[in-house]
Structure 1
Amino acid sequence: MLGSSSEERRRTDAEKALERSNAELDIRVHQRTRELNSAIADVRENELRFRTLIELAPFAIVVIDRAGHIRLASAAAYRMFGVDEGDLLERSVDDFLPEELGVKHIGDFDQDPEPRMLGLSRPLDAHRLDGTRIPVEIGLSPAYVDGQQMIVAFVSDISERRAAELLAAERAESLEQSNQELEQFAYVASHDLREPLRMISSYLGLLSRRYTGQLDDDADEFIHFAVDGAARMSGMIEDLLQYSRIGTQGGELHPTNSGEALSEVLRDLSMAIEEGEAQIEVGDMPWVMADSTQLRRLLSNLIGNALKYRGEAIPEISIHSEFKNSRWEFTISDNGIGIDPEFHDRIFRIFQRLHGRGEYSGSGLGLAVCRKIVERHGGQIWVESRPLGGSLFVFTLGEAQSQKEAAKEF
């Protein structure tokens, strides 16, 4: 009896332990089920968000497996490639995307699965189902779907931008051709006008020498006007001829010591500087990429204007340079009569004068020549009014190597 009772208790204890284990197991199963259901819900929610983002994206999105088959595509992709919904799936990427993203290049991406852009340096064309081509840019990014490495391609249709670029290029080419024709016309016109004008000037000079003082005062005045007009026209034609030659007969751009060019200009202007008792301040001048002849003319025109358009005070001219945004920026400031801001653009146009000929000499081409020289060098030129009077002319030129390195090229 004693043994039977002990056996009964052990069985009862075992049954109770089993019940507790089953209860704990049920709790764990229910808990695990809730966690699994929650995870599944999260996955479905994330998948829904992902698909929503794909569908709402303004560009085409294509997910490609390592065999080169399209596994997922956005609505924009179906519209871009001209196929019905679902017809892209499991098709080869070679049917639609450029060779750079073809099956044979997917292995290269596997070797270096880093995000990258295609179509930035050279044009890429995707293919529609009807055979037409679409200019595109493509962004690639690695992704893992169901434990497998995939490639996500973000495809942007750049047809409108490509068309705008082509139109801009055509307009630029047309403008360049028009400019060349205009330069050629200016050259031919000014060149062909020189000989008849030379003859007119010669006979007007002869008329002046022979008959000045022998006719009445009106005749002398008329002869003087004719001689002066012929001289001014000759100067304008010569300036126009030089202006037309800037783009067609300019020298090669090479490393040039702007300090030496400036020193030569100041020597050429030494008489005007001495007569005006001008004070010239010069900072460090760099090496730049330039046509040295045109650089000297540019500096001569700007410094010459600073000497010409002086005020009542002794001229003070400062010439400096500073390296900014990968280019050298030159400044030439003066304390002269200054320029009204409303004329800051106009003064760089051809034959534009702000003063009468009786006040200051010149044809009105000097600053137009400066702008053309600077633009030929790939730079910019502008003018600013100084707060205390005078003008500040600024122009930019490309950087050159150091003096030591530049010397090796010669």
Structure 2
Amino acid sequence: MFKQILQTHSFEPILLEKAKGSWVWDVDGKKYLDCVSGTWCTNLGHNHPRIIKAMKDQMEKLIHRNMWFLTPVTLEAAEKVLDFVPKKFDAVTFLQSGSEVTEYSISLAQRVTKKRKILSLKDSYLGAFGLARESSYHSGIASKLKIPYPICSTSNCSCLDEHIELIDHILQKYADELACFVLEPIMVSGGVLKPCKAFIEELCKRLQNAGVLVVSNEVTTGFGRTGKKFGFEHFDIRPDIVAIGKAMGNGYPVSAILTNNQITDGLTPAEMYYAQSHQLDPLGSVVAKTVVDIFVEEQIIKKSQPKIKQIREIFESLSHPFIKEFRTHGMLFAVSLQSHGNILSKEILIKLKYELLKEGIIAGASLGKELLRLIPPLTITTNEIKILDEKINKAFNSIY
């Protein structure tokens, strides 16, 4: 099937044709409630009318330009994004994908510090290629260092006391080699896992005191996905670099890196150099600008809070012996499954995914982690949540 497409990964035997809001339609006219927001991108729902209009207007003026020139809309977008992100930043550049912006964030940190090693948490996913790929799940060169981390849900935890030796060890052994610590505030690919607040705050503070830069990878967690504008706001930290993507384009490929002049002032123009054909293109810029405007003017994050609560209550009401754990952080939901009776957890996950698909619900499934994941648009409606409730209960009840 689909032999003309290079099989870089597996595909469902369904051809999608159009989308609107929380819904997508296949070529046969069947509609599906998209509870993974495309590839975790459409926080505002598919084909938002303001974004479509802004793109059409810009396409009639200028889509692409030579990379040595800027456009007014790019300068406007830069100001909008800088104003939207907390913990004031001075400068931004627009790229295309989350993988690219994470790659450049790491590369920039290495140029600034003149060091090579990259620190991250063991369940982090940082990108699909290059330095970021080496620091994700994939095997790579010795520049990467992945560490275990505590998870807890209380403010009076003893995690820091129990893991202070790990922080001491990292600083004593690697501080002189570390360029940056890349923090994914919630490990979404890793299983919707949030590291202990006290541990992350102490780790970031001591690393920054030792001259190690902190990069907050907000590609998935940015733009309201965790219940706040950005995931790093769940911690009392101040990142040196922020990488954003996915929801900033709401389905269009645009990403951004933000940093401060004090970080880059010591670099020569040659050391700062990074260029690709579509960097800072006006079409991506107008999308980013419009997305920020919608988030601010329509109070998207505030309005998503009761809907987050509604969906959380759906999962909390489920009572099945094959449910191991339920995790939620903002509009991120995951159900960890376990084997029960003669049915393996992997089989349960596959059956759940396809029962939901049959019922018109697109959900994510992580084989190997045995995790069912839902990441719906922040703009999902109350009526759509009622449909989701009905279909989830039907799918879960179908296992036995």
**Shorter chain as normaliser: what TM range?**
under 0.3
Instruction: Using structure 1 for the length normalisation, give the TM-score.
Output: 0.22
Larger Rg: 1 or 2? 1
State the TM-score, normalized to the length of structure 2: 0.22
Q: Name the structure where helix makes up a greater proportion of residues.
A: 1
